[in-house]
Amino acid sequence: MSGMANDTLNSMRVIVPAAGTLIAVAPTGAETAKGDCPQLPTTLAELVETAVSCQAAGASLIHIHIRDAEHRPSLDAVLLRETVQAVREQTSLVIQLSTGGSVHDPLEKRLTVLDAEPDSCSLTCGTTNFGDDVFLNPFPFMAQLYRHAQERQIVPEFELFDLGHVAALRRLIDTCGLPFGGRVHVDFITGVPGGMPGTPAALLAGVQALPDEVTSWAATGIGRSHLPIAAAALASGGHLRVGMEDNLIYAKGQPVQRNDELVSRAADLARMMQRPPLTTAEARALLSVKERRTA
């Protein structure tokens, strides 16, 4: 091999495969209507049942969006608290609340999500086109949300929808420092119409550009990119996110009936790759989440 090729390879970010796989499940999201997908978990009872079955199938983290009594996306403070408490009582999953909400939620309302005292919160690192809409995340909002999370000892998951979000994460760490616990976990959300494509090439370009402070990364692919991105992430040392927020089709002609189907398949893939699913205790240690459960 030529010296130049060696130099190029040596300058690339070294990807050390993680020993196990953190499997996050995003069971609901804010985009799919219950009327279009009756099996989407939208009530508290459905969400708790989903959380229990997904933990049994190999998930160690749940990314939660809640719905109101009419199954519409909601950021209701009381319901968020009830949801965190119920999932915490019934499972040992790392509980991550979405601060992204729906594209229609105002920024001020999205900040209040942290009042429900989750273990973790999503923190998207920039504005992105989102189909015909815009998912708004101006830098001052990101920094304010990050500082709130630091003060409340909630671990953020930095969500990256585009390569530019990787640069914004660099700026965010320079501006605000490290999260509570010192670990920096990011999740590439690929394949959103308007964001980075759901391809292994785009994913790996993002991984190569991650700041050195990043201690773990995960990836998901929206829709048909769900499986290829999962395979690419597993092969490259990343963790996984699956779930009906991101993908409603299990296979051609086969709609997803339950979130645990997607978690089971991800767990099988992970075991096949000799990177078995992390337990919830291992995931808590990986992310350095604060213990909020009472004995």
- Chain residues that interact with ligand KMH, rule: CB under 6 A: 29-30, 98-100, 102-103, 122, 124, 130, 135, 159
User: What contacts 189, CB < 8 A, 6 or more positions away?
Assistant: 159, 160, 161, 195, 220, 222, 241, 246
Q: How far is CA 11 from CA 91, 156, 205, in A?
A: 43, 29, 14
Burial of 112 (0-12, 13-18, 19+ CB in 10 A): middle
Query: Could you say which of ligand KMH, Zn ion, none residue 127 binds, taking C-beta under 5 to 8 angstroms by partner kind?
Result: none
Query: Could you say which of Zn ion, ligand KMH, none residue 42 binds, taking C-beta under 5 to 8 angstroms by partner kind?
Result: none
200 and 227 Cβ atoms separated by less than 8 Å: no
Alpha helix (H) ranges present in 115-217?
A: 139-151, 163-176, 200-208
The closest alpha carbon to 30, from 19, 40, 15, belongs to 40
**CB nearest ligand KMH: which residue?**
100
| Min dist. Cβ of residue 26 to Zn ion (A) | 6
Query: Could you say which of Zn ion, ligand KMH, none residue 135 binds, taking C-beta under 5 to 8 angstroms by partner kind?
Result: ligand KMH
Query: Could you say which of Zn ion, ligand KMH, none residue 141 binds, taking C-beta under 5 to 8 angstroms by partner kind?
Result: none
* Per CB under 5 A, 98 contacts Zn ion: yes
Query: How far apart (Å, rounded) are the C-alpha atoms in residues 50 and 38?
Result: 14
| Min dist. Cβ of residue 81 to ligand KMH (A) | 18
| Min dist. Cβ of residue 73 to ligand KMH (A) | 8
Backbone angles phi, psi at 196, to 5 degrees: -65, 145
* Per CB under 5 A, 220 contacts Zn ion: no
Query: How far apart (Å, rounded) are the C-alpha atoms in residues 23 and 184?
Result: 17
Three-state secondary-structure class, residue 210: coil
* Per CB under 5 A, 247 contacts Zn ion: no
Return the structure tokens found at 135.
Answer: 């998912």
| Min dist. Cβ of residue 133 to ligand KMH (A) | 8
| Min dist. Cβ of residue 169 to Zn ion (A) | 17
Q: Which is nearer to Zn ion, 157 or 275 (CB)?
A: 157
| Min dist. Cβ of residue 135 to Zn ion (A) | 10
Q: Which is nearer to Zn ion, 23 or 204 (CB)?
A: 23
Query: Could you say which of ligand KMH, Zn ion, none residue 99 binds, taking C-beta under 5 to 8 angstroms by partner kind?
Result: ligand KMH
Question: Under the rule (CB under 5 A), what is the footprint of Zn ion?
Answer: 98
